[in-house]
Structure 1
């Protein structure tokens, strides 16, 4: 039986492009100081389409960490120090108004009503994750929240997933990892958890299906799948 569910954040609890697409354009424009050519070069480096306000499916920052984004942007911003750029991006991300693909509170309440324990493991920072959950009013549904900087490593390594299972005292095989990227699903397989894909991120069903036990349209379909599983 499934006893616990660990969620990715961006692209899973929150729709990826609806949340991050406009934010990325504003942040690149700000960093470029109005220099359109510079904004374009930075956008290309992170796999972002400035015209469409969305990330390409192959973007290296979709499932990456803040450090990955800084590594890609810093060569275009020689006047920025690494720590200052990281703080700028992380601070801006914490204020991001995220868009959920479903009404989160009833969805999560339904899962808790099935006696499931819930957690979040994101490659965003823990501070940003907690800020986003608090802004959505759903912090109380989660027993565990970890970011790439929480001391457990980052996906696709299994560290944060195993930390979740250990924290709850639940066997990994009794946990499902729900995510929108191959990073999430590879992490689930490495941890011995049940991998569940959702289509609220840039990845397509055909990208996720080879790694997932099931691919759902969004987390709203999760409660029914748990009952079947």
Structure 2
């Protein structure tokens, strides 16, 4: 499995565990100031061979340190995030810099995988503890995702499948990043949709915009839309939100780096 370095800081402690509505271009200067990711995200594997008691035992669980920035929202999971995986019933717990538990999850994504979401209250070193439910055994790959800013409210109509009259927002991504643009609250914290949303992602080439991905109804999301796109070339990418056909829709767009 490929291990990309997306901008986030991570250290394994247990060695035994292995825009602007209607604007087509947006502001590059604004995107550079607001949307730049400053840390590296990564994926890491773990395997549990002893009872973790639902990840309450730090000695038998896999423990990882990571730096979070105050105000930023993160998703962490063995399911539902690009390159995440699990075998068995995983359990995740997140502890703040003072050692207090701030988030936990057992079952998510419709199965025995785990995924939690957390908005950092303070900047500092957090500890993720990965274990298994009760006294079972499990293994997996924990993946991390960082939201690019706050959810973006939109309210549009007559967009002809997001080809006109759209809400647009531009972001900078590095080559190898996975861009997740979503109006689906099942898959992305902060997303929402009322009506039948439609998404398009364009690469800003400087001279023009090239369409690289589209989605109408994402799996398990009803009439909400979601795009996962692996960025081949560093640069600015614009997300456009509209509605299916010429209907009306509204909601909150979120964009994550994975």
Query: How does the TM-score come out when normalised to structure 1?
Result: 0.28
- Which one has a bigger Cα radius of gyration? 2
Which structure has greater strand proportion? 2
Which structure has greater helix proportion? 1
Query: How does the TM-score come out when normalised to structure 2?
Result: 0.26
* Structure ranking higher on relative contact order (CA contacts 8 Å, 6+ apart): 1
